[in-house]
Structure 1
Amino acid sequence: MKKWSREQMAVRVAQDIADGDVVNLGIGLPTMVANHLPSDREVILHSENGVIGMGPAPAEGEEDYDLINAGKQPVTLLAGGCFFHHADSFAMMRGGHLDVCVLGAFQVSASGDLANWHTGAPDAIPAVGGAMDLAIGAKKTYVMMEHLTKSGASKLVSECTYPLTGIGCVSRIYTDLAVIDLTPDGAKVIDIVAGLSFDELQKVTAVTLVNAC
């Protein structure tokens, strides 16, 4: 099956970040978006551990581990960027000051419910971090995830079976197969990987899709 690579997914998300947006990139896949933001746009990147104004990842050998994002990855700081107290960072997140957050997920429901902190498995380590604050605090919550689990199950589901992070908070998901808007009129496919048909996508997706490409 045709798929976007992780780099291609990051490029696709970056295309939809508008000039002037203040954006939080969650741990994991979303952090890759920072390396692909269009050079002609000013995007202000925020990290929940108390950094704003981050740039792309540093070149190999130039890492400064006193300057990291929430995923403990070294980052760069653009002119005007700064770092501050953790509580102030969460005040930004909860106060509606973020235009967009991009989060990973274990599951997303067709109605926009998000499950991304715990699978419920007895041996799983729960790690909610600031996801709950981001999911409801940002003006738009996007999810970046692989379309299927390792066992081949759809991560886009009619109803989440994992513990929820937020209810009705996700407006768009980016997977390695498609970009899907979650709307009151259904899950609308607005982009699909080249070479993959809508019918093929529907076969591996657990909810009814609307072709809006």
Structure 2
Amino acid sequence: MLSNDQRVKIAKRVAEELKNGEVINLGVGIPTLIPDYLSDKKVYLHSENGLLGMGPTPPENEQDMDLISASKKPITMEKGASLFDSSNSFVMIRGGHVDTAVLGALQVDETGEIANWAIPGKTILGVGGAMDLVAGAKQIIIASSHLSKNDEPKLVKELTFPRSGVRKADMLVTEHAVFKFQNNQCELIEILSDISLEELKEITDANFIYNEKITQK
């Protein structure tokens, strides 16, 4: 289980990747923290329940539970934000109008293929927007813990959970490291914790390449 500090660390690192002017969809979990760590970046945060222009988390005394994200968390609206129905929200996603989707994951394989909607043998509530976002967003960033609740690696050689689509992730950010996926390869580009490279390999099932001069924050 991640601490709040670790969750914030991941959200902040993903926020560094977002570019001014982009339309960004934020998935359930760690991605919902990102609006609070964008600094002066001007991006357009999209919530699949029907909002473009989502702002940071409101103070507790100003929360209005009629204004929530797709994760059912209280939110604010930026000046100029727009509200629309769910069908139009998915038209935006399926029409290729979302620049980046930041999603959680149950597993990611070493080529970047994603499983984030079902665990075999457990009750499935529904796909939600996962498959649409995997298919429709121009870039996919996964924000996730490095290990599952059962301490199993989430970055694996091959998926054992149902995949979310044929499109693959461009980047994975965990509490320990940042990985990029290119040409069906996984590359470690940054270490975010005080973990050693050997320790990271021990908790990662997937093969990954790296530069010997890998940076560590």
Show the counterpart of 2:168.
Answer: 169
Instruction: Give the whole-Å Cα distance in 2 for the aligned partners of 1:192 and 1:141.
Output: 20
Instruction: Report the secondary structure of 2:60's partner residue.
Output: coil
Contact 1:94 1:134 in 2 (8 A): yes
Contact 1:112 1:167 in 2 (8 A): no
The runs of 5 or more residues in structure 2 that have no matched partner are none
Shift of 1:185: 5.8
RMSD of Structure 2 on Structure 1 (CA): 1.5
Show the counterpart of 1:118.
Answer: 118
TM-score scaled to structure 1, two decimals? 0.93
Instruction: Give the whole-Å Cα distance in 2 for the aligned partners of 1:173 and 1:13.
Output: 9
Deviations 1:111-137 (A, max 9, x none): 22111111012x433331011101110
Instruction: Report the secondary structure of 1:5's partner residue.
Output: helix
Instruction: Report the secondary structure of 1:61's partner residue.
Output: helix
Instruction: Give the whole-Å Cα distance in 2 for the aligned partners of 1:81 and 1:182.
Output: 33
Show the counterpart of 1:71.
Answer: 71
One-letter code aligned to 1:142: I
Instruction: Give the whole-Å Cα distance in 2 for the aligned partners of 1:185 and 1:127.
Output: 29
| Number of residues of Structure 1 aligned to a counterpart in Structure 2 | 209
Shift of 1:38: 2.1
Deviations 1:130-189 (A, max 9, x none): 111011100001111111112221101111111111124211111111010011162111
Contact 2:112 2:184 in 1 (8 A): no
Show the counterpart of 1:27.
Answer: 28
Instruction: Give the whole-Å Cα distance in 2 for the aligned partners of 1:87 and 1:152.
Output: 38
One-letter code aligned to 1:202: K
Q: What aligned pairs does 1:1-40 form with structure 2 within 5 A after superposition?
A: 5-39=6-40
Q: What aligned pairs does 1:38-77 form with structure 2 within 5 A after superposition?
A: 38-39=39-40, 41-77=41-77
Instruction: Give the whole-Å Cα distance in 2 for the aligned partners of 1:161 and 1:124.
Output: 17
Of 166-175 and 49-58, the range deviating more from structure 2: 166-175
Aligned-pair identity in percent equals: 41
Shift in alpha-carbon separation, 1:118–1:126, aligned structure 2, 3 A: farther
Show the counterpart of 1:134.
Answer: 133
Instruction: Give the whole-Å Cα distance in 2 for the aligned partners of 1:174 and 1:124.
Output: 27
Contact 1:108 1:114 in 2 (8 A): yes
Instruction: Give the whole-Å Cα distance in 1 for the aligned partners of 2:203 and 2:27.
Output: 26
Instruction: Give the whole-Å Cα distance in 2 for the aligned partners of 1:162 and 1:55.
Output: 33
Contact 1:113 1:164 in 2 (8 A): yes
TM-score scaled to structure 2, two decimals? 0.92
Of 74-83 and 150-159, the range deviating more from structure 2: 150-159
Shift of 1:67: 1.1
